[in-house]
Structure 1
Amino acid sequence: MHRSRVYALIIDAPRDEADAAAAFWSAALGVPAGPAPGEPQFIDLHGALPGLVAAVQSVDDAPRLHLDIETDDPVAETDRLLALGATQVARWQECRVLRVPGGHLVCVLPVESDRELFDAQARAWP
C-alpha cells in the first residue's frame, strides 16, 4: 500500500514570460509572489491555494498548467497512473513526468509537504 495527494498546481510559463506571468497571477489572486528557496525556476504564489503549493515555473516550452502529485512511494504511484493510461515522458531530478489521457502533464514526486498535512490528506492505494 502507498499513499498520494495532489501537492501543487504549477503554471508553466516560457522563460522570458515567467516574471510577467508571476506578477499577473500574484495580482489576480491577491497573494505575494517570491522565489522558491533553492529552486530558481519557480516563483511561489504564497497562500494562493490553501493546503497546496501554487507556483509559476520558468520552462523552455509552451505555456500550460500541470499538477504535482506527492507520494510516499514514487515507483508505486507512477505504476498506478501508468496502469490508468498515463505514459512517462521524462524524469527531472526525483520527479517523474507523465502525460495523462487528455494530454495534460502530471509530475509524481516524493513527499514535499509537511508530514502532518500529507498524513491527513493523502489517499491510500492498494
Structure 2
Amino acid sequence: MHRSRVYAVLIDTPREQVAGATDFWSAALGVQARPLPDEPQFISLPGATDGVRLALQAVDDAPRYHVDIESDDPEAELERLVALGAELVQRWQECRILRAPGGHLLCVLPVESDQALFDATAKTWA
C-alpha cells in the first residue's frame, strides 16, 4: 500500500522564452515569481493555486504542461501508472518521467510537499 497526490503543474517553457513567460504568468495570476536557488530551471509561482504547486520550468524542448505526482513510495506509484498504460521514458535525479496514454508527460517523485498537506490530501492505493 502506498499514497500519492498531484504535487505540481509545470509550465514547460523553452529556455530562451522563460523571462517573458515568467513575467506573463506572474502578472496574469497576480503572484510574485520566485526562482528556486538550488534548481535554477524552476521558477515557482507561489499562491497561484491552492494546495498544488504551479511553476515554470526551463526546457530545451517545445512548450507544454506536465504534472508532477509525489508519492511516499515512488517505485510503487511508477508500477501502478505503468500498469494503467503509462510508459517510463527516463529517470532524472529522483524523478521518474513517464508518458501517459495520449502522449502527455508526467513525473513521479518522492514527497516534496509539507508532510501534513501530503497526509491530508494523498490517495491511498492498494
TM beyond 0.5: yes
1:66 partner letter: H
Corresponding position of 2:11: 11
Residue 67 of structure 1: aligned partner: 67
CA distance in 1, matches of 2:89, 2:70: 18
* Residue 124 of structure 1: aligned partner: 124
CA distance in 2, matches of 1:27, 1:90: 34
Residues 1:112 and 2:119 are matched in the alignment: no
Q: Does 1:58 align with 2:94?
A: no
* Cα-to-partner distance string for 1:81-109 (whole Å, 9 max, x where unaligned): 00000001111100000000111000000
TM-score (norm 1): 0.98
Tell me which amino acid in the other structure corresponds to 1:48: A
Q: Which residue of 1 aligns with 2:94?
A: 94
d(CA) in 2 for partners of 1:50, 1:4: 17
Share of identical aligned residues, percent? 67
1:38 is paired with a residue whose SS is: coil
Gaps of 5+ in 1: none
TM-score w.r.t. length of structure 2: 0.98
Equivalent in the alignment of 1:42? 42
Instruction: Count residues in correspondence.
Output: 126
Q: Distance in 1 between matches of 2:22 and 2:88?
A: 28
Q: Which runs of 4+ in 1 moved over 4 A?
A: none
Greater share of residues in strand:
1
CA distance in 1, matches of 2:73, 2:22: 31
Which shifted more, 16-25 or 105-114? 16-25
Question: Aligned partners of 2:123, 2:104: CA distance in 1, in Å?
Answer: 22
| 1:52 CA displacement | 1.1
Which amino acid is 2:15 matched to?
R
* RMSD, aligned CA: 0.6
- Structure 1 residue 37 displacement after superposition: 3.3
Q: Secondary structure at the match of 1:31?
A: coil
Q: Which residue of 1 aligns with 2:32?
A: 32
